[in-house]
Amino acid sequence: RIVHLNGEYLPEDQAKVSVFDRGFVMADAVYEVTSVLDGKLIDFPGHMARLARSLGELGIQNPHSDDEWLAIHREMVARNEITHGMVYLQVSRGNGGDRDFVYPPADTPPTVVLYTWQKPQLIDNPAAETGWKVCTLPDIRWHRRDIKTVQLLYPSMAKMEAKARGCDDAWLVENGLVTEGTSNNAYIVKGGAIITRALSNDILHGITRAAVLRFAREAQMTVEERSFTVEEAIAADEAFITSASAFVMPVVEIDGVRLGDGAPGKVSRRLREIYLEESRAAAI
C-alpha cells in the first residue's frame, strides 16, 4: 500500500511520524473519510469544507487548497487502484516538542497523512438488506462534537459495548435525547416524516446527512430537524443512520425492540437508492 505523508507518496512501512507529534500525544488532529465508488470521490467538496472548518476551529493551518487536496486524493486512489473503497485523511498540529499543553509556534508544519483501503462491498453491502441493530448508551463525549477530531476513544468503547450486547452500533443518548451513532448520524421515520437532530455543537455535521436531507426534500419528503427521545425512536415506523462509509443504513432494532416488521423500512431503502444514484452521478 502507498500512503501519503507530508507531500510524499511512500510504501506504508517507510512512512514515519515523530513520537512528539501532537496527534499521537494529545489527539490534537482532525480527519476526514471520503468514500470512493468506481474510482471517484463521493461528496468531496463537502468533506473539504468540513476539514477547513475543523482546522479553523482548532487554529491549525490548512496545509492545502481544495484543488491540491483533490489532486492528492486522486493520486492516492490511482496509486492504490481503488475502485470501491475509502480515503482516510488526517492533519495534526505537528511536532509539539517537549510535552506541553501550550501549542507549538504557529509556523510549525502540520503533519498530513492519507491512506486508503479497498471495500468491494461498499455498495452491495449485505447489511443494507437486513439492517442494523442498535443499542443505546450514554453520550459522555466532549461538547465540541462538531469538530471532527481523532479523539475517538469513547465512540470506540461504545462500539465495543454495543457489539458485546449483540448490536451493530450504539446510539448515544444525552438528557434522554439521541445525539448520534458512534460514527454516523441517527434518524427515525414516523408517519412518513424523517426526523433527525438539528445541527449544533452536540453532533458532527455529517456530509452524508446534508446530502440525504437535500435529496429527501427534493423528493417532497417531510424533514423535521429536531431531537428525539429513545422512547420515540422505539415507537418509530423505521430508523436509519448515515455516514460516508455506510451511506444510508437501515436500523431495524433499538435496544432489543423491533421496528415495524423488523425489515428495513420503505423510506430508508428509498433514501439509500436515491443517495447512491445522485452521489455517484455527482462524484468527481
Catalytic residues: 148
Q: Report the nearest approach of ligand PLP to the CB of residue 283 (Å).
A: 15
* Member of 92, 208, 227, 268 binding ligand PLP (CB under 6 A): 208
Q: Report the nearest approach of ligand PLP to the CB of residue 203 (Å).
A: 6
Q: Report the nearest approach of ligand PLP to the CB of residue 208 (Å).
A: 3
Q: Hey, what's the cell of 100?
A: 506541553
- In the shown chain, the binding pattern of residues 44 to 83 toward ligand PLP, with x for contact by CB under 6 A and - for none, equals ----------------------------------------
Burial group, residue 16, by CB count within 10 angstroms (0-12, 13-18, 19+): exposed
* Nearest residue (CB) to ligand PLP, 6 versus 151: 151
Q: Applying CB under 6 A, does 95 fall inside the site for ligand PLP?
A: no
Q: Applying CB under 6 A, does 206 fall inside the site for ligand PLP?
A: yes
Q: Which of residues 121-140 bind ligand PLP (CB under 6 A)?
A: none
Q: How far apart are CA 3 and CA 9, in angstroms?
A: 6
Q: Hey, what's the cell of 54?
A: 475543523
- Look up residue 246 and give its DSSP letter: T
Q: How far apart are CA 44 and CA 36, in angstroms?
A: 10
Angle at 14 between CA 8 and CA 18, to 5 degrees: 85
Residues across the chain: 284
Q: Report the nearest approach of ligand PLP to the CB of residue 242 (Å).
A: 6
Q: Applying CB under 6 A, does 196 fall inside the site for ligand PLP?
A: no
Question: Cell 481544495, residue?
Answer: 66
Contact stretch for ligand PLP (CB under 6 A) within 21-29, 65-73, 159-167, 242-250: 242-250
Q: How far apart are CA 193 and CA 175, in angstroms?
A: 23
Q: Applying CB under 6 A, does 90 fall inside the site for ligand PLP?
A: no
For residue 239, give the nearest of 191, 195, 277, 187 by alpha carbon.
Answer: 187
Q: Applying CB under 6 A, does 204 fall inside the site for ligand PLP?
A: yes
Question: Cell 455543537, residue?
Answer: 201
Chain residues binding ligand PLP by CB under 6 A are 33, 180, 183-185, 204, 206-209, 242-244
